[in-house]
Amino acid sequence: MKFIIDRFDGQQKYKQAYELSMDEVKGQTLLSLLQHIKRTQDITLNFTAACRMAICGACAVRVNGHSYLACDTKMEELLEEYKNPSSMTISPLNNFRVISDLVVDWEPSIENLRKIKPTITPQEAFSNKHGCKQTQEEVNRIKKQWDCILCGCCASECNKLEADASDYMQPFVFTHAYRAAADSRSKDPMIHVKPSVMNGLWNCVHCQECADRCPKGISSFSDIANLRVKAVANGLDEGEGPGHATAFLTDIVEGTGRLNEIKLALRSEGVIKNMGKMDIAFNLMGAGKMNPLHIFEGDEIEGHEDLVKMIKAARAASKE
């Protein structure tokens, strides 16, 4: 079987193929396979690994364009997933700067983690004498987020980072921000929420690739949504992102239950900003994708009254 590895020597990117027998592949993990190639065929091949027990997150790579934690990925399962191909391509994580072969630069990600202050500032009521107790419910609220091992799989799959990483942090950064903000021991959740808002919290494109590929089953998408709720609840409700979210809720509760896409743009960005997008609106109308008469609403969706009752009940319960 052929394994094609994307390589980089610091100046030039190239692909290199390695032939292995199925006896060499069977019983291996993806990481042990890379170690076998390095040990028996090419000592110059570079990749990172440490614990080999799915704890440190150091060995994440891509196979055929998708991210995997190499030490926790069995080759038999990988072959079955791709229907026993004659070759596979192993690449470094996407959306990271490649340093050498499968080794990527983590410094920008560490800087982003520093921005959201992932450590907890404890409440003043806590002391060395009395400690800091949590209920099981409070622990469960952040238990899953503590499982994040900073492997980078979510960031590698993130469509927003691939399109434009200049105004958005890695998904796992928001997971750690939520973990700290939702911790009952924290003195002030906004210590973590505010820098999240300032560094792209509302720019997530909702592709949910981060949740689909996380080897620990963590949903950074959900953590981002929960951070947004905390932001709005604490007065950070200005801007296109909050306006966009509020417009959705307005149509569901106060409208017919159907999203009014014409009003959505106006509510999110305002009239003046939308004036510069009239060409887009006309193109959409010409293609039959937008009907200007929809601004006058339409019939309510079936069960709209019951939906509103549920939303109001949920709001009342959250205040209790």
Write out the CATH class of domain 105-234.
mainly alpha
3-state helix, strand, coil in the chain (%, to 5): 50, 10, 40
What's the pLDDT band for 305 if we cut at 50, 70, 90?
Answer: confident
What's the pLDDT band for 12 if we cut at 50, 70, 90?
Answer: very high
Gap between the Cα atoms of 234 and 220, Å rounded: 21
Write out the CATH class of domain 2-103.
alpha beta
Predicted local confidence at residue 273, as pLDDT: 66
The strand ranges marked E within the chain are 2-8, 13-19, 60-63, 66-69, 87-91, 98-100, 103-104
Quote the DSSP letter at residue 303.
T
**∠ at Cα 285 (203, 293), nearest 5°?**
95
Q: Say whether pLDDT at 261 is over 80.
A: no
Residues 124-163 have pLDDT tens digits of: 888 788 788 899 999 999 999 999 999 999 999 999 999 9
Question: Residue 1, Cβ neighbours under 10 Å: how many?
Answer: 16
Predicted local confidence at residue 270, as pLDDT: 63
Please report the sign of the dihedral spanned by the C-alpha atoms of residue 236, residue 238, residue 239, residue 245: positive
- Per domain, the residue ranges of the chain are 2-103, 105-234, 240-318
Half-sphere exposure of 56 (CA within 13 A, CB side): 10
Residues 73-130 have pLDDT tens digits of: 999 999 999 999 999 999 999 999 999 999 999 999 999 999 999 998 888 888 788 7
What's the pLDDT band for 267 if we cut at 50, 70, 90?
Answer: low
Q: Say whether pLDDT at 289 is over 80.
A: no
Predicted local confidence at residue 257, as pLDDT: 77
